[in-house]
Structure 1
Amino acid sequence: MQTITPDELREEFQEINDYDERLEYIIEFADGLPQMAAEHRVEPNRVQGCVSNVWLVASQRPGESADDSPIVDFEADSDAVITRGLIAIIVALLSGKSAKEILAIDIDGLFTELDLQGHLTRSRSNGLRSMVRRVRELAEAAL
């Protein structure tokens, strides 16, 4: 699974000015997202508010960070390639971080800064907000 920092994502997007190239970059993340096990692709794991099907599960392990909150690992999937890429970026940014670290990262602000939502349809933009909200809920539940 890919990992990326907010600064690395900013750098990548600064180098890509063309909308189609940005979509290709998002799709590359989709291609790198491991396939989710079928038993996790169930209704309780579906992210509400997304037009496409998006599934997200979180697992916890004891905190190995300075803040001593549990480490949260995410597994996700979608049946739509662009949406799969978006959730893959979220997972790459946040999976493996402590719950407190996840909650401290302003993902919505990052995506606004990158003008990511400005290049998405209204329904995809709403879905992106729903995915971020669900990740934050799962991180809060880990505390």
Structure 2
Amino acid sequence: MPRFDDIVADFKFLDDWDDRYKYLIDLGRALPPYPEEFRDEAHKVRGCASQVWFRAREEAENGRKTLAFDGDSDAHIVKGLIAVLFALYAGKTPEEILAVDARAALAPLDLEGHLTPQRSNGLVSMIKRINEIAAEKR
């Protein structure tokens, strides 16, 4: 999975939004398979028009407790957005996740100007859910 900075650089390199959508879809396809046992109400992200599921795993990285996320969606572009968010929060502690200004971090991708209102609302819901998980794991 590419690092978030690499995703931003790739977006800047791709001039055409059709190519950017294809890139998002490819990012989503690169996510590891999501375990069936976590496709339940407890892991469902509320506020998304598509079906979206997240789970978090605690990992130890250089003596720090970080969170790693798994997720899936039944919509290709949304699955790509999941991959972007997971790259944004990769290797971060719960406290660091809560300190991220996701809107500012995502601004260089110009997603808000090119996503449908439903997908934009879903992206906000996914960010909110990641923050809720991080707050629970603190």
Structure 2 length normalisation: TM-score? Answer: 0.91
- 1:11-50 alignment to 2 at 5 Å? 11-50=9-48
Q: Does 1:130 align with 2:128?
A: no
Q: Does 1:61 align with 2:59?
A: yes
Q: Which residue of 2 aligns with 1:81?
A: 76
One-letter amino acid of the structure 1 residue matched with residue 28 of structure 2: A
Q: Distance in 2 between matches of 1:30 and 1:84?
A: 5
Q: Distance in 2 between matches of 1:77 and 1:10?
A: 21
Q: Distance in 2 between matches of 1:63 and 1:74?
A: 14
CA RMSD of aligned residues (A): 1.6
Q: Which residue of 1 aligns with 2:3?
A: 4
Q: Which residue of 2 aligns with 1:99?
A: 94
Q: Distance in 1 between matches of 2:131 and 2:43?
A: 14
Q: Distance in 2 between matches of 1:61 and 1:111?
A: 25
Q: Deviations over 1:95-135 (max 9, x none)?
A: 33211222222222122332112101000010011101111
| Structure 1 consecutive aligned stretches of length 4 or more whose deviation exceeds 6 Å | none
Q: Distance in 2 between matches of 1:115 and 1:91?
A: 18
| 1:28 positional shift | 0.8
Q: How many residues align?
A: 138
Q: Distance in 2 between matches of 1:107 and 1:56?
A: 17
After alignment, is 87-96 or 12-21 more displaced? 87-96
Q: Is the 8 A contact 2:61 2:91 kept in 1?
A: no
Structure 1 segments unaligned to the other structure (5+ residues): none
Q: Is the 8 A contact 1:72 1:98 kept in 2?
A: yes
Structure 2 segments unaligned to the other structure (5+ residues): none
